[in-house]
Protein backbone atom coordinates (compact mmCIF):
# COMPACT_ATOMS: atom_id res chain seq x y z
CA UNK A 1 0.00 0.00 0.00
CA UNK A 2 1.29 3.48 -0.88
CA UNK A 3 2.38 5.89 1.88
CA UNK A 4 -0.37 8.21 2.97
CA UNK A 5 -3.11 5.79 1.92
CA UNK A 6 -5.32 4.03 4.46
CA UNK A 7 -7.88 1.41 3.59
CA UNK A 8 -10.06 -0.17 6.17
CA UNK A 9 -13.69 -0.80 6.95
CA UNK A 10 -15.38 2.22 8.48
CA UNK A 11 -18.90 3.29 9.07
CA UNK A 12 -20.00 5.59 6.21
CA UNK A 13 -21.20 8.15 8.76
CA UNK A 14 -17.88 8.07 10.59
CA UNK A 15 -15.96 8.50 7.37
CA UNK A 16 -18.07 11.52 6.41
CA UNK A 17 -17.44 13.14 9.80
CA UNK A 18 -13.66 12.72 9.44
CA UNK A 19 -13.68 14.09 5.91
CA UNK A 20 -15.88 17.12 6.67
CA UNK A 21 -13.79 17.93 9.73
CA UNK A 22 -10.72 18.07 7.54
CA UNK A 23 -12.50 20.29 5.00
CA UNK A 24 -13.78 22.75 7.59
CA UNK A 25 -10.37 23.19 9.21
CA UNK A 26 -8.50 24.18 6.07
CA UNK A 27 -8.59 26.99 3.54
CA UNK A 28 -8.43 29.83 6.02
CA UNK A 29 -5.66 31.82 4.36
CA UNK A 30 -6.46 35.46 3.60
CA UNK A 31 -5.69 37.59 0.57
CA UNK A 32 -3.42 40.58 1.02
CA UNK A 33 -4.86 44.03 0.40
CA UNK A 34 -3.42 45.61 -2.75
CA UNK A 35 -1.58 48.93 -2.52
CA UNK A 36 -3.05 52.05 -4.17
CA UNK A 37 -2.73 51.83 -7.97
CA UNK A 38 -0.65 54.99 -8.10
CA UNK A 39 -0.25 57.04 -4.94
CA UNK A 40 2.22 59.32 -6.73
CA UNK A 41 -0.59 61.24 -8.49
CA UNK A 42 -1.15 64.59 -6.81
CA UNK A 43 -4.83 65.48 -7.15
CA UNK A 44 -5.35 69.27 -7.04
CA UNK A 45 -7.53 70.76 -4.35
CA UNK A 46 -9.65 72.74 -6.85
CA UNK A 47 -10.22 73.22 -10.56
CA UNK A 48 -8.27 75.88 -12.42
CA UNK A 49 -11.26 76.82 -14.58
CA UNK A 50 -13.83 76.83 -11.79
CA UNK A 51 -15.21 80.13 -10.54
CA UNK A 52 -15.89 78.69 -7.12
CA UNK A 53 -13.44 79.32 -4.33
CA UNK A 54 -11.77 76.28 -2.82
CA UNK A 55 -13.48 76.96 0.52
CA UNK A 56 -16.98 77.38 -0.92
CA UNK A 57 -17.09 74.39 -3.26
CA UNK A 58 -20.27 72.39 -2.76
CA UNK A 59 -20.46 70.19 -5.80
CA UNK A 60 -23.58 68.53 -7.24
CA UNK A 61 -25.51 66.16 -5.03
CA UNK A 62 -25.86 62.48 -5.90
CA UNK A 63 -29.46 63.11 -6.96
CA UNK A 64 -28.43 65.95 -9.28
CA UNK A 65 -25.70 63.85 -10.83
CA UNK A 66 -28.06 60.96 -11.43
CA UNK A 67 -30.52 63.04 -13.49
CA UNK A 68 -28.39 66.01 -14.48
CA UNK A 69 -30.04 66.49 -17.91
CA UNK A 70 -33.32 67.47 -16.21
CA UNK A 71 -31.70 70.79 -15.33
CA UNK A 72 -32.16 71.69 -19.01
CA UNK A 73 -35.95 71.74 -18.51
CA UNK A 74 -36.89 69.97 -21.73
CA UNK A 75 -39.61 67.25 -21.43
CA UNK A 76 -38.82 65.91 -24.91
CA UNK A 77 -35.19 65.39 -23.92
CA UNK A 78 -36.26 63.70 -20.69
CA UNK A 79 -38.33 61.16 -22.62
CA UNK A 80 -35.55 60.65 -25.14
CA UNK A 81 -33.07 59.80 -22.41
CA UNK A 82 -35.47 57.29 -20.89
CA UNK A 83 -35.97 55.59 -24.24
CA UNK A 84 -32.24 55.37 -24.80
CA UNK A 85 -31.63 53.91 -21.34
CA UNK A 86 -34.30 51.25 -21.76
CA UNK A 87 -33.61 50.32 -25.37
CA UNK A 88 -29.93 50.78 -26.19
CA UNK A 89 -28.20 47.61 -27.38
CA UNK A 90 -24.77 48.66 -26.11
CA UNK A 91 -26.18 48.97 -22.61
CA UNK A 92 -27.68 45.49 -22.86
CA UNK A 93 -24.34 44.14 -24.09
CA UNK A 94 -22.56 45.70 -21.12
CA UNK A 95 -25.15 44.11 -18.81
CA UNK A 96 -24.45 40.73 -20.43
CA UNK A 97 -20.74 41.20 -19.71
CA UNK A 98 -21.63 41.79 -16.07
CA UNK A 99 -23.56 38.51 -16.06
CA UNK A 100 -20.56 36.74 -17.60
CA UNK A 101 -18.17 38.19 -15.01
CA UNK A 102 -20.55 37.16 -12.24
CA UNK A 103 -20.58 33.59 -13.55
CA UNK A 104 -16.78 33.54 -13.82
CA UNK A 105 -16.54 34.76 -10.23
CA UNK A 106 -18.83 31.86 -9.28
CA UNK A 107 -16.51 29.42 -11.04
CA UNK A 108 -13.54 30.77 -9.11
CA UNK A 109 -15.47 30.47 -5.85
CA UNK A 110 -16.44 26.86 -6.59
CA UNK A 111 -12.74 25.94 -6.72
CA UNK A 112 -12.56 26.49 -2.94
CA UNK A 113 -15.02 23.69 -2.21
CA UNK A 114 -14.79 19.94 -2.65
CA UNK A 115 -15.78 17.97 -5.71
CA UNK A 116 -18.30 15.20 -5.03
CA UNK A 117 -19.50 12.64 -7.55
CA UNK A 118 -21.61 9.49 -7.29
CA UNK A 119 -21.73 6.33 -9.41
CA UNK A 120 -24.15 3.40 -9.49
CA UNK A 121 -23.49 0.36 -11.72
CA UNK A 122 -25.28 -2.91 -12.29
CA UNK A 123 -23.53 -5.79 -14.07
CA UNK A 124 -24.95 -9.17 -15.11
CA UNK A 125 -22.19 -11.76 -15.35
CA UNK A 126 -22.05 -13.82 -18.52
CA UNK A 127 -20.25 -16.71 -16.80
CA UNK A 128 -22.40 -19.35 -15.03
CA UNK A 129 -21.69 -20.51 -11.51
CA UNK A 130 -21.57 -24.13 -10.31
CA UNK A 131 -25.28 -23.95 -9.74
CA UNK A 132 -25.83 -22.87 -13.36
CA UNK A 133 -27.43 -19.51 -12.40
CA UNK A 134 -26.29 -16.18 -13.87
CA UNK A 135 -24.85 -13.71 -11.30
CA UNK A 136 -25.77 -10.05 -10.84
CA UNK A 137 -23.41 -7.51 -9.30
CA UNK A 138 -24.42 -4.07 -8.06
CA UNK A 139 -21.83 -1.44 -7.06
CA UNK A 140 -22.00 2.17 -5.92
CA UNK A 141 -19.41 4.79 -5.02
CA UNK A 142 -19.31 8.29 -3.59
CA UNK A 143 -16.08 10.12 -4.46
CA UNK A 144 -14.88 13.31 -2.80
CA UNK A 145 -11.81 15.35 -3.83
CA UNK A 146 -10.56 18.58 -2.32
CA UNK A 147 -7.37 20.62 -2.47
CA UNK A 148 -6.50 22.86 0.45
CA UNK A 149 -5.74 26.47 -0.48
CA UNK A 150 -2.68 26.60 1.80
CA UNK A 151 -1.01 29.60 0.18
CA UNK A 152 -4.03 31.44 -1.17
CA UNK A 153 -3.79 30.67 -4.90
CA UNK A 154 -7.50 29.94 -5.20
CA UNK A 155 -8.48 32.82 -3.00
CA UNK A 156 -6.36 35.17 -5.08
CA UNK A 157 -8.17 33.83 -8.15
CA UNK A 158 -11.50 34.47 -6.43
CA UNK A 159 -10.39 38.01 -5.55
CA UNK A 160 -9.43 38.56 -9.19
CA UNK A 161 -12.86 37.32 -10.30
CA UNK A 162 -14.53 39.62 -7.78
CA UNK A 163 -12.52 42.60 -9.03
CA UNK A 164 -13.35 41.69 -12.63
CA UNK A 165 -17.05 41.62 -11.76
CA UNK A 166 -16.90 45.00 -10.07
CA UNK A 167 -14.95 46.42 -13.02
CA UNK A 168 -17.63 45.23 -15.45
CA UNK A 169 -20.32 46.82 -13.28
CA UNK A 170 -18.40 50.10 -13.47
CA UNK A 171 -18.04 49.64 -17.24
CA UNK A 172 -21.81 49.25 -17.47
CA UNK A 173 -22.22 52.48 -15.56
CA UNK A 174 -19.66 54.19 -17.82
CA UNK A 175 -21.64 53.10 -20.89
CA UNK A 176 -24.75 54.65 -19.36
CA UNK A 177 -22.91 57.90 -18.59
CA UNK A 178 -21.65 58.10 -22.16
CA UNK A 179 -25.02 57.23 -23.71
CA UNK A 180 -26.85 59.93 -21.78
CA UNK A 181 -24.24 62.53 -22.72
CA UNK A 182 -24.33 61.47 -26.39
CA UNK A 183 -28.12 61.70 -26.36
CA UNK A 184 -28.01 65.26 -25.02
CA UNK A 185 -25.34 66.19 -27.57
CA UNK A 186 -27.31 64.77 -30.51
CA UNK A 187 -30.50 66.44 -29.29
CA UNK A 188 -28.62 69.74 -28.93
CA UNK A 189 -27.31 69.43 -32.48
CA UNK A 190 -30.87 68.89 -33.71
CA UNK A 191 -32.23 71.93 -31.88
CA UNK A 192 -29.27 74.05 -33.02
CA UNK A 193 -29.93 73.05 -36.63
CA UNK A 194 -33.62 73.92 -36.23
CA UNK A 195 -32.69 77.29 -34.70
CA UNK A 196 -30.33 77.96 -37.59
CA UNK A 197 -33.17 77.18 -39.99
CA UNK A 198 -35.36 79.72 -38.22
CA UNK A 199 -32.60 82.33 -38.52
CA UNK A 200 -32.21 81.37 -42.15
CA UNK A 201 -35.93 81.76 -42.86
CA UNK A 202 -35.95 85.15 -41.18
CA UNK A 203 -33.04 86.33 -43.31
CA UNK A 204 -34.63 84.90 -46.44
CA UNK A 205 -37.77 86.91 -45.73
CA UNK A 206 -35.73 90.05 -45.16
CA UNK A 207 -33.76 89.63 -48.37
CA UNK A 208 -36.88 88.79 -50.34
CA UNK A 209 -38.30 92.13 -49.28
CA UNK A 210 -35.07 93.85 -50.30
CA UNK A 211 -35.05 92.08 -53.66
CA UNK A 212 -38.67 93.00 -54.30
CA UNK A 213 -37.98 96.61 -53.33
CA UNK A 214 -34.99 96.70 -55.67
CA UNK A 215 -37.12 95.35 -58.52
CA UNK A 216 -39.69 98.10 -57.94
CA UNK A 217 -36.96 100.73 -57.85
CA UNK A 218 -35.51 99.34 -61.07
CA UNK A 219 -38.90 99.50 -62.79
CA UNK A 220 -39.26 103.11 -61.58
CA UNK A 221 -35.83 103.97 -62.90
CA UNK A 222 -34.45 104.58 -59.41
CA UNK A 223 -32.12 101.54 -59.35
CA UNK A 224 -29.90 99.88 -61.91
CA UNK A 225 -30.01 96.35 -63.22
CA UNK A 226 -26.78 95.74 -61.30
CA UNK A 227 -28.48 96.47 -57.98
CA UNK A 228 -31.39 94.16 -58.82
CA UNK A 229 -29.02 91.31 -59.65
CA UNK A 230 -27.02 91.93 -56.47
CA UNK A 231 -30.20 91.64 -54.40
CA UNK A 232 -31.21 88.39 -56.14
CA UNK A 233 -27.69 86.99 -55.68
CA UNK A 234 -27.75 87.78 -51.99
CA UNK A 235 -31.16 86.09 -51.66
CA UNK A 236 -29.99 82.97 -53.51
CA UNK A 237 -26.87 82.75 -51.35
CA UNK A 238 -28.96 82.57 -48.16
CA UNK A 239 -31.41 80.08 -49.65
CA UNK A 240 -28.50 77.81 -50.59
CA UNK A 241 -27.70 77.39 -46.90
CA UNK A 242 -30.94 75.51 -46.23
CA UNK A 243 -30.11 72.04 -47.72
CA UNK A 244 -26.88 71.75 -45.71
CA UNK A 245 -28.63 72.78 -42.50
CA UNK A 246 -31.48 70.33 -43.19
CA UNK A 247 -28.88 67.60 -43.57
CA UNK A 248 -27.39 68.43 -40.16
CA UNK A 249 -30.86 68.10 -38.60
CA UNK A 250 -31.47 64.79 -40.40
CA UNK A 251 -28.16 63.36 -39.20
CA UNK A 252 -28.97 64.39 -35.62
CA UNK A 253 -32.33 62.57 -35.81
CA UNK A 254 -30.64 59.45 -37.16
CA UNK A 255 -28.08 59.57 -34.33
CA UNK A 256 -30.91 59.69 -31.80
CA UNK A 257 -32.64 56.74 -33.50
CA UNK A 258 -29.40 54.76 -33.31
CA UNK A 259 -28.80 55.65 -29.66
CA UNK A 260 -32.28 54.39 -28.81
CA UNK A 261 -31.69 51.29 -31.00
CA UNK A 262 -34.71 52.22 -33.10
CA UNK A 263 -35.23 52.10 -36.85
CA UNK A 264 -34.70 55.40 -38.69
CA UNK A 265 -37.66 57.69 -38.24
CA UNK A 266 -39.02 55.98 -35.14
CA UNK A 267 -38.48 59.09 -33.00
CA UNK A 268 -39.70 61.66 -35.54
CA UNK A 269 -43.10 62.04 -33.87
CA UNK A 270 -41.52 62.65 -30.47
CA UNK A 271 -38.96 65.06 -31.91
CA UNK A 272 -41.73 67.00 -33.66
CA UNK A 273 -43.25 67.82 -30.25
CA UNK A 274 -42.87 71.55 -29.50
CA UNK A 275 -39.78 72.12 -27.36
CA UNK A 276 -38.21 75.15 -25.64
CA UNK A 277 -35.52 75.28 -28.34
CA UNK A 278 -31.82 74.88 -27.72
CA UNK A 279 -31.35 73.31 -24.25
CA UNK A 280 -30.39 76.11 -21.88
CA UNK A 281 -28.16 75.13 -18.93
CA UNK A 282 -28.38 76.98 -15.62
CA UNK A 283 -26.31 80.13 -15.37
CA UNK A 284 -23.92 78.65 -12.82
CA UNK A 285 -22.65 75.10 -12.42
CA UNK A 286 -21.12 73.70 -9.23
CA UNK A 287 -18.55 70.96 -9.89
CA UNK A 288 -17.17 70.13 -6.46
CA UNK A 289 -13.56 69.13 -5.88
CA UNK A 290 -11.35 66.94 -8.11
CA UNK A 291 -11.06 64.14 -5.55
CA UNK A 292 -14.85 63.76 -5.42
CA UNK A 293 -15.03 63.64 -9.21
CA UNK A 294 -12.50 60.81 -9.35
CA UNK A 295 -14.50 58.83 -6.79
CA UNK A 296 -17.73 59.14 -8.78
CA UNK A 297 -16.39 58.49 -12.29
CA UNK A 298 -17.11 54.89 -13.36
CA UNK A 299 -14.09 54.66 -15.67
CA UNK A 300 -11.72 55.59 -12.84
CA UNK A 301 -13.43 53.10 -10.53
CA UNK A 302 -13.20 50.43 -13.24
CA UNK A 303 -9.49 50.98 -13.80
CA UNK A 304 -8.94 50.70 -10.05
CA UNK A 305 -10.80 47.37 -9.99
CA UNK A 306 -8.72 46.21 -12.96
CA UNK A 307 -5.58 47.00 -11.00
CA UNK A 308 -6.90 44.96 -8.07
CA UNK A 309 -7.61 42.05 -10.42
CA UNK A 310 -4.08 42.20 -11.80
CA UNK A 311 -2.68 42.33 -8.26
CA UNK A 312 -4.67 39.25 -7.27
CA UNK A 313 -3.55 37.32 -10.35
CA UNK A 314 0.06 38.11 -9.48
CA UNK A 315 -0.60 36.73 -5.99
CA UNK A 316 -2.03 33.54 -7.49
CA UNK A 317 1.04 33.20 -9.70
CA UNK A 318 3.35 33.69 -6.71
CA UNK A 319 1.45 31.01 -4.79
CA UNK A 320 2.31 28.57 -7.58
CA UNK A 321 5.83 28.34 -6.16
CA UNK A 322 4.62 26.57 -3.04
CA UNK A 323 3.32 23.05 -2.35
CA UNK A 324 -0.33 22.04 -2.56
CA UNK A 325 -2.10 19.64 -0.23
CA UNK A 326 -4.97 17.53 -1.47
CA UNK A 327 -7.39 15.04 0.05
CA UNK A 328 -9.47 12.54 -1.85
CA UNK A 329 -11.75 9.88 -0.51
CA UNK A 330 -14.46 7.50 -1.54
CA UNK A 331 -17.16 5.28 -0.19
CA UNK A 332 -17.41 2.08 -2.25
CA UNK A 333 -20.06 -0.58 -1.93
CA UNK A 334 -20.55 -3.81 -3.85
CA UNK A 335 -23.21 -6.48 -3.48
CA UNK A 336 -25.13 -9.05 -5.43
CA UNK A 337 -28.38 -7.18 -4.86
CA UNK A 338 -29.51 -3.58 -4.48
CA UNK A 339 -31.17 -4.37 -1.15
CA UNK A 340 -27.86 -5.43 0.42
CA UNK A 341 -25.78 -2.74 -1.24
CA UNK A 342 -25.58 -0.43 1.76
CA UNK A 343 -24.94 -2.99 4.46
CA UNK A 344 -21.89 -2.05 6.49
CA UNK A 345 -20.13 -5.23 5.47
CA UNK A 346 -20.45 -4.23 1.81
CA UNK A 347 -19.04 -0.69 2.25
CA UNK A 348 -15.37 0.26 2.07
CA UNK A 349 -13.90 3.68 2.76
CA UNK A 350 -10.73 5.13 1.24
CA UNK A 351 -8.97 8.30 2.28
CA UNK A 352 -5.92 9.54 0.39
CA UNK A 353 -3.93 12.62 1.20
CA UNK A 354 -0.88 13.97 -0.53
CA UNK A 355 1.50 16.92 -0.69
CA UNK A 356 2.65 18.09 -4.11
CA UNK A 357 5.48 20.57 -4.56
CA UNK A 358 6.93 21.99 -7.79
CA UNK A 359 10.55 20.95 -8.35
CA UNK A 360 11.31 21.52 -12.02
CA UNK A 361 8.89 23.44 -14.25
CA UNK A 362 11.29 24.64 -17.00
CA UNK A 363 10.71 28.25 -15.95
CA UNK A 364 6.92 28.08 -16.29
CA UNK A 365 6.19 29.45 -12.82
CA UNK A 366 8.86 32.15 -13.10
CA UNK A 367 7.60 33.29 -16.51
CA UNK A 368 4.00 33.25 -15.35
CA UNK A 369 4.95 35.53 -12.45
CA UNK A 370 6.77 37.83 -14.88
CA UNK A 371 3.68 37.98 -17.11
CA UNK A 372 1.41 38.87 -14.19
CA UNK A 373 3.90 41.42 -12.89
CA UNK A 374 3.98 43.15 -16.29
CA UNK A 375 0.18 43.12 -16.41
CA UNK A 376 0.08 44.73 -12.97
CA UNK A 377 2.41 47.47 -14.18
CA UNK A 378 0.15 48.06 -17.20
CA UNK A 379 -2.89 48.27 -14.94
CA UNK A 380 -1.16 50.85 -12.74
CA UNK A 381 -0.20 52.95 -15.76
CA UNK A 382 -3.71 52.66 -17.17
CA UNK A 383 -5.11 53.90 -13.85
CA UNK A 384 -2.74 56.85 -13.91
CA UNK A 385 -3.70 57.69 -17.50
CA UNK A 386 -7.41 57.42 -16.68
CA UNK A 387 -7.10 59.75 -13.68
CA UNK A 388 -5.13 62.37 -15.60
CA UNK A 389 -7.55 62.16 -18.51
CA UNK A 390 -10.51 62.61 -16.16
CA UNK A 391 -8.99 65.74 -14.63
CA UNK A 392 -8.24 67.18 -18.08
CA UNK A 393 -11.78 66.48 -19.33
CA UNK A 394 -13.35 68.45 -16.49
CA UNK A 395 -10.98 71.39 -16.99
CA UNK A 396 -11.64 71.41 -20.73
CA UNK A 397 -15.43 71.29 -20.27
CA UNK A 398 -15.30 74.10 -17.68
CA UNK A 399 -13.24 76.23 -20.04
CA UNK A 400 -15.61 75.57 -22.94
CA UNK A 401 -18.65 76.39 -20.80
CA UNK A 402 -17.13 79.66 -19.58
CA UNK A 403 -16.01 80.67 -23.08
CA UNK A 404 -19.45 79.96 -24.56
CA UNK A 405 -21.16 82.05 -21.86
CA UNK A 406 -18.85 84.99 -22.54
CA UNK A 407 -19.44 84.74 -26.28
CA UNK A 408 -23.21 84.65 -25.81
CA UNK A 409 -23.18 87.88 -23.79
CA UNK A 410 -21.15 89.70 -26.44
CA UNK A 411 -23.09 88.25 -29.36
CA UNK A 412 -26.47 89.17 -27.89
CA UNK A 413 -25.36 92.83 -27.71
CA UNK A 414 -23.92 92.63 -31.22
CA UNK A 415 -27.08 91.09 -32.69
CA UNK A 416 -29.21 93.85 -31.18
CA UNK A 417 -27.00 96.56 -32.62
CA UNK A 418 -26.78 94.87 -36.04
CA UNK A 419 -30.56 94.42 -36.26
CA UNK A 420 -31.09 98.11 -35.49
CA UNK A 421 -28.51 99.06 -38.12
CA UNK A 422 -30.16 96.84 -40.71
CA UNK A 423 -33.58 98.35 -40.05
CA UNK A 424 -32.15 101.84 -40.38
CA UNK A 425 -30.37 100.93 -43.62
CA UNK A 426 -33.61 99.57 -45.08
CA UNK A 427 -35.44 102.82 -44.37
CA UNK A 428 -32.62 104.96 -45.76
CA UNK A 429 -32.42 102.81 -48.90
CA UNK A 430 -36.17 103.09 -49.44
CA UNK A 431 -35.75 106.86 -49.15
CA UNK A 432 -32.85 106.78 -51.60
CA UNK A 433 -30.31 107.99 -49.05
CA UNK A 434 -27.93 105.01 -49.22
CA UNK A 435 -27.03 102.51 -51.90
CA UNK A 436 -27.99 98.82 -51.97
CA UNK A 437 -24.54 97.62 -50.89
CA UNK A 438 -25.06 99.25 -47.49
CA UNK A 439 -28.32 97.35 -47.06
CA UNK A 440 -26.85 94.01 -48.15
CA UNK A 441 -23.87 94.51 -45.91
CA UNK A 442 -26.02 95.08 -42.82
CA UNK A 443 -28.17 92.05 -43.72
CA UNK A 444 -25.10 89.83 -44.01
CA UNK A 445 -23.89 91.11 -40.65
CA UNK A 446 -27.20 90.34 -38.96
CA UNK A 447 -27.35 86.85 -40.49
CA UNK A 448 -23.77 86.07 -39.48
CA UNK A 449 -24.18 87.32 -35.91
CA UNK A 450 -27.52 85.58 -35.39
CA UNK A 451 -26.04 82.32 -36.64
CA UNK A 452 -23.00 82.74 -34.39
CA UNK A 453 -25.30 83.34 -31.43
CA UNK A 454 -27.23 80.14 -32.15
CA UNK A 455 -23.98 78.20 -32.47
CA UNK A 456 -22.63 79.69 -29.23
CA UNK A 457 -25.78 78.65 -27.36
CA UNK A 458 -25.36 75.17 -28.76
CA UNK A 459 -21.71 75.13 -27.67
CA UNK A 460 -22.74 76.11 -24.16
CA UNK A 461 -25.23 73.25 -24.04
CA UNK A 462 -22.63 70.85 -25.45
CA UNK A 463 -20.07 72.01 -22.88
CA UNK A 464 -22.66 71.46 -20.13
CA UNK A 465 -23.19 67.89 -21.35
CA UNK A 466 -19.45 67.27 -21.63
CA UNK A 467 -18.98 68.64 -18.13
CA UNK A 468 -21.47 66.27 -16.54
CA UNK A 469 -20.07 63.37 -18.50
CA UNK A 470 -16.63 64.33 -17.15
CA UNK A 471 -18.11 64.52 -13.64
CA UNK A 472 -19.45 60.97 -14.03
CA UNK A 473 -23.11 61.95 -13.84
CA UNK A 474 -25.97 59.66 -14.75
CA UNK A 475 -25.13 56.22 -13.35
CA UNK A 476 -26.55 56.14 -9.81
CA UNK A 477 -29.82 54.51 -10.81
CA UNK A 478 -28.32 51.72 -12.92
CA UNK A 479 -30.16 48.48 -12.19
CA UNK A 480 -27.35 46.12 -11.27
CA UNK A 481 -27.70 43.15 -8.94
CA UNK A 482 -25.61 44.01 -5.87
CA UNK A 483 -22.37 42.17 -5.28
CA UNK A 484 -22.77 40.22 -2.06
CA UNK A 485 -20.87 37.00 -1.58
CA UNK A 486 -17.33 36.23 -2.51
CA UNK A 487 -15.76 39.59 -1.80
CA UNK A 488 -12.12 40.32 -2.51
CA UNK A 489 -11.12 39.27 0.98
CA UNK A 490 -13.36 36.23 1.16
Q: Let me know: does 71 contact 64? Beta carbons within 8 Å.
A: yes
Q: What is the pLDDT of residue 348?
A: 59
Model pLDDT for residues 258-304, shown as the tens digit of each residue = 999 999 999 999 999 888 889 999 887 888 888 888 888 999 999 99
Cβ-based neighbour number of residue 236 at 10 Å: 12
Model pLDDT for residues 69-112, shown as the tens digit of each residue = 999 999 999 999 999 999 999 999 999 999 999 998 988 888 88
Q: What is the pLDDT of residue 274?
A: 85
Residues with Cβ within 8 Å of residue 82, at least 6 apart in sequence: none
What single DSSP character describes residue 66? H
Whole-number percent of the chain with pLDDT over 90: 44
Q: Is the pLDDT of residue 22 over 50?
A: no
* Main-chain phi, psi angles of 73, to 5 degrees: 65, 40
Q: What is the pLDDT of residue 23?
A: 38
Model pLDDT for residues 34-80, shown as the tens digit of each residue = 887 876 678 888 888 776 554 446 778 888 888 999 999 999 999 99
Q: What is the pLDDT of residue 4?
A: 38
Residues with Cβ within 8 Å of residue 257, at least 6 apart in sequence: 263, 264, 265, 266, 267
Every domain of the chain and the residues it spans: 31-112+173-314+367-470
Q: Is the pLDDT of residue 392 over 50?
A: yes
Model pLDDT for residues 219-236, shown as the tens digit of each residue = 877 777 888 888 888 888
31-112+173-314+367-470 placed in CATH 1.20.1600.10: yes
What single DSSP character describes residue 483? P
Q: What is the pLDDT of residue 343?
A: 59
Average pLDDT, the chain: 81
Q: What is the pLDDT of residue 339?
A: 56
Q: Is the pLDDT of residue 305 over 90?
A: yes
> How confident is residue 406, by pLDDT bands cut at 50, 70 and 90?
very high
Expressed in angstroms, the distance from the first to the final Cα of the chain is: 39
Helix H segments across 45-110?
62-66, 75-87, 89-110
> How confident is residue 7, by pLDDT bands cut at 50, 70 and 90?
very low
Task: Find the helix packing angle between 153-219 and 298-319, rounded to 10°.
Answer: 150
Amino acid sequence: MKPGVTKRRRSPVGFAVVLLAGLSGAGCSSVATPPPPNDAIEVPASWNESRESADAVQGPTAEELAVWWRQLGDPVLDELVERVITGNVDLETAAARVAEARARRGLAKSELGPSISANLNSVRSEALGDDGIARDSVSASLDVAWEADLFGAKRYSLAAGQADLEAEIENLRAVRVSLIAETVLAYTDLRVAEARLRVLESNVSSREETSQLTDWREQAGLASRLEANQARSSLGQVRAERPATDQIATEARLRLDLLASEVPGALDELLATPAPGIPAPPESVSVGIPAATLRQRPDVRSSERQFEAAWARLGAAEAGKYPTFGISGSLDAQSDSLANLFDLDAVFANLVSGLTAPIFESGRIRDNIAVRDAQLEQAALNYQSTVLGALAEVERALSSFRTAEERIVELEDAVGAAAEAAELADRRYAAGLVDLLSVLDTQRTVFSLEEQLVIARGERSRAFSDLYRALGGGWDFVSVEPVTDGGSNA
